[in-house]
């Protein structure tokens, strides 16, 4: 059962990290609904490493090109000399708000906002935002049309994803579409913007684990369970990115809006039934 639960949580992490339905909400709610005990710090690190590996693997060529062009631009004195160089710096600017907020407020969020009721509210609220973006966006802008205001706007929205139930991909895609991006552009910029944060979070979680090992004893590591979580998160995440980008070429976000509302209702019902009267 421990191996099975690790694989299930890895799959959930891989799917929900990149779909606009909130990974943090599902990783809180699924163990809560099924009565599973927390896997602990080591397993949390494994899931973050798995999704970081997935997004790095999928966008590896993009990032090699972006970093190469950014370096060439600096050396040539033309940091914004072509679309790739400009995009690289837009991603740098857009990544700053989430990084700063994460470092300053991660502990407060983990201790005060990890509640089923908070998740109910954010699932429903962001469903409304996603629906508004879907219905009002003119969907006429591509990556070449992005400017500093877009990077800052979408970057600030990404900072809200620290709250359980918000969804990093959901809020950043909504923010991009509210500035009239087409769906595929919104998703691609969202995933590229998520790469530094996702990889940074994975490295930060790994550092915290190493620090904990140095100063205190931790539970023995079940490497089989750990490997199952990492592998399932990485493979599922990679496939999720691939097929979700294809999906958005012809489909809308409406099914995810409906899913978020149904999940919010289900969680609220379960919470009310489990609360002593």
Q: Give the range of the structural domain holding residue 244, as residue numbers without chain letter.
A: 2-58+99-274
Write down the residue that tokens 């591509």 correspond to: 142
CA distances in angstroms from 24 to 40, 48, 88, 167, 181, listed in the order given: 15, 11, 28, 8, 26
CA distances in angstroms from 274 to 124, 221, 270, listed in the order given: 21, 33, 6
Report yes or no on 108 lying in a domain. yes
Neighbours of 116 (CB within 10 A): 20
Report yes or no on 145 lying in a domain. yes
Report pLDDT digits (tens) over 139-150. Answer: 999 999 999 999
Q: Return the pLDDT at 29.
A: 77
Report yes or no on 79 lying in a domain. no
Report yes or no on 65 lying in a domain. no
Of 204, 9, 224, the residue nearest 98 (C-alpha):
204
Q: Which two tokens stand for residue 227?
A: 């490997």
Report yes or no on 70 lying in a domain. no
Residues of the chain with pLDDT under 50: none
Q: Return the pLDDT at 277.
A: 62
Chain-centroid distance of CA 88 in Å reads 19
Write down the residue that tokens 């877009």 correspond to: 150
Report pLDDT digits (tens) over 32-77. Answer: 777 777 666 567 777 888 998 999 999 999 999 999 999 999 999 9
Q: Which two tokens stand for residue 138?
A: 């003119």
Could you give the count of Cα atoms lying within 13 Å of 87 in the half-sphere of its Cβ?
A: 21
SS (H, E, C) the chain: CHHHHHHHHHHHHHHHCCCCCCHHHHHHHHHHHHCCCCCCHHHHHHHHHHHHHHHHHHCHHHHHHHHHHHHHHHHHCCCCCCHHHHHHHHHHHHHHHHHHHHHHHHHHHHHHCCCHHHHHHHHHHHHHHHHHHHHHCCCCECHHHCCHHHHHHHHHHHHHHHCCCCCHHHHHHHHHHCCCECHHHHHHHHHHHHHHHHHHHHHHHHHHHHHHHHHCCCCCCCHHHHHHHHHHHHHHHHHHHHHHHHHCCCCCCHHHHHHHHHHHHHHHHHHHHHCCC
Report yes or no on 72 lying in a domain. no
Cα–Cα distance, 190 to 139 (Å, whole number): 15
Cα–Cα distance, 86 to 65 (Å, whole number): 12
Structurally, how many domains does the chain consist of? 1
Report yes or no on 15 lying in a domain. yes
């Amino acid at each position: 059962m421990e191996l099975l639960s690790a694989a299930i949580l890895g799959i959930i992490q891989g799917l929900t990290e990149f779909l606009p339905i909130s990974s943090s909400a599902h990783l809180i709610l699924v163990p809560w609904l099924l009565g599973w005990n927390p896997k602990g710090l080591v397993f949390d690190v494994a899931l973050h490493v798995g999704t970081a590996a997935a997004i790095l693997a999928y966008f590896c060529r993009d990032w090699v090109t972006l970093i190469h062009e950014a370096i060439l631009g600096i050396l040539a004195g033309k940091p914004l000399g072509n679309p790739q160089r400009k995009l690289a710096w837009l991603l740098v600017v857009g990544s700053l708000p989430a990084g700063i907020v994460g470092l300053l407020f991660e502990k407060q969020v983990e201790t005060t906002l990890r509640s089923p009721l908070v998740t109910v509210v954010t699932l429903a609220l962001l469903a409304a935002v996603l629906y508004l973006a879907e219905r009002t966006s003119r969907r006429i802008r591509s990556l070449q049309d992005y400017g500093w205001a877009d990077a800052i706007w979408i970057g600030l929205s990404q900072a809200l994803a620290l709250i359980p139930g918000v969804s990093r991909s959901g809020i950043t895609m909504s923010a991009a579409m509210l500035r009239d991006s087409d769906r595929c552009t919104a998703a691609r910029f969202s995933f590229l913007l998520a790469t530094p944060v996702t990889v940074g979070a994975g490295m930060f979680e790994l550092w915290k684990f190493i620090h904990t090992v140095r100063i205190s004893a931790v539970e023995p590591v079940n490497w089989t369970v750990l490997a199952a979580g990492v592998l399932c998160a990485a493979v599922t995440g990679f496939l999720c990115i691939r097929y979700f980008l294809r999906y958005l070429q012809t489909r809308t976000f409406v099914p995810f809006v409906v899913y978020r509302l149904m999940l919010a209702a289900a969680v609220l019902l379960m919470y009310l039934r489990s609360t002593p009267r």
